[in-house]
């Protein structure tokens, strides 16, 4: 299975388990993430979730060779990007969270990361754009100029910088991200479930209107890229392991 579950009292750890593919998301993993989070959402004994990747790579985003499959009914892209969870979800990041991997972390309510973590949106290097909410969640979470830097250069950013900017809640030693994320999730799990649900619902409502505009803008950008020669060249260069020769159209 590409995803495993581990229960730690009221906190459920959802572990991405496709290390041989850098936890890149294909259709099977999208369905598995969706199923796991649906199970947690519907289980009254589960109070919070931790979404964890591997020790070397949290998630490399979409599996470019296979595709990530269709968005799910309850979770959207990757089974999580459009999810409206009434229970806290904490990302536990070790290693690289790139492209959709960073967008998955931003879809969680909080992020705990080890000192090995790096975050990036390399889509422009492949003739693509961030299509899983990165175009609007990154500038929401970060100062605008830093968001532009990430989205326009494709360069990775260190965990220390993102902690200073308030994106990462806690930085820990290598190998300790899951335990620390469980500890943070447990601090929410001891509180009144009704209060937690009401708080998360209120926060989601505040940002819902902005999300609608963000998705509309993302669709326009995606349509532009899908029709471009740059996209074809970027993907060809990726598979051929060479530097792209951008047509610029």
Q: Establish if 217 belongs to a structural domain.
A: no
* pLDDT of amino acid 233: 95
What is residue 129's predicted lDDT score, i.e. its pLDDT?
A: 97
Distance CA 23, CA 78 (A): 12
Q: Which residues of the chain have pLDDT under 70?
A: none
Q: What is the pLDDT of residue 209?
A: 84
215/217 Cα distance (integer angstroms): 5
What is the average pLDDT score of the chain? 96
pLDDT given for residue 55 in this prediction: 86
Map tokens 């589960």 to a residue.
46
Domain containing residue 43: CATH number? 3.90.226.10
pTM: 0.96
42 CB burial (10 A radius; 0-12, 13-18, 19+): exposed
Indicate if the alpha-carbon torsion angle 82, 1, 49, 169 is positive or negative: negative
Domain membership of residue 56 (yes or no) is yes
**Is residue 66 situated within a structural domain?**
yes
Please state the φ and ψ torsions of residue 190, each to the nearest 5 degrees: -80, -10
Token pair, residue 71, equals: 């968005």
- Residue 128's domain comprises 3-175+188-193
| Contacts with 1 (C-beta within 8 Å, 6 or more apart), sequence order | 17, 32
Q: What is the tally of structural domains in the chain?
A: 1
Q: Where are the beta strands (DSSP E) in the chain?
A: 3-8, 11-16, 48-52, 57-59, 89-93, 96-98, 110-114, 118-120, 157-158, 170-172
Whether residue 180 lies inside any domain: the answer is: no
Residue 166 falls within a domain, yes or no? yes
**Residue 90 domain-assigned (yes or no):** yes
SS3 at position 82: coil
Is 121 inside any structural domain? Answer: yes
Residue-wise pLDDT tens digits, 238-247: 999 999 999 9
Q: What is the pLDDT of residues 202-226, one digit of tens each?
A: 999 998 888 999 999 999 999 999 9
Residue 236 included in any domain: no
Which active-site residues does the annotation give? 103, 123
Question: From CA 2, how far away is CA 60, in angstroms rounded?
Answer: 14
């Amino acid at each position: 299975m590409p995803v495993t579950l581990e229960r730690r009292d009221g906190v459920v750890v959802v572990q991405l388990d496709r290390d041989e593919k850098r936890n890149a998301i294909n259709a099977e993993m999208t369905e598995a993430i969706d199923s796991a989070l649906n199970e947690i959402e519907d289980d009254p004994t589960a109070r919070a979730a931790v979404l964890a990747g591997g020790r070397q790579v949290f998630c490399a985003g979409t599996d470019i060779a296979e595709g990530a499959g269709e968005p799910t009914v309850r979770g959207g892209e990757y089974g999580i990007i459009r999810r409206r969870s009434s229970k806290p979800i904490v990302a536990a990041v070790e290693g690289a969270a790139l492209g959709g991997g960073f967008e998955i972390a931003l879809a969680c309510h909080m992020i705990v990361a080890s000192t090995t973590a790096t975050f990036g949106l390399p889509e422009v290097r492949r003739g693509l754009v961030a299509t899983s909410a990165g175009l609007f969640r990154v500038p929401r979470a970060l100062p605008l100029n830093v968001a532009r830097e990430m989205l326009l250069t494709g360069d990775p950013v260190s965990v220390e910088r993102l902690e200073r900017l308030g994106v990462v809640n806690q930085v820990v030693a290598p190998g300790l991200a899951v335990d620390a994320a469980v500890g943070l999730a447990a601090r929410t799990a001891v509180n009144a479930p009704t209060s937690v649900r009401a708080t998360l619902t209120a926060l989601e409502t505040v940002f819902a209107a902005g999300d609608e505009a963000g998705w509309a803008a993302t669709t326009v950008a995606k349509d532009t890229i899908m029709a471009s020669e740059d996209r074809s060249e970027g993907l060809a260069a990726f598979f051929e392991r060479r530097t792209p020769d951008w047509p610029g159209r």
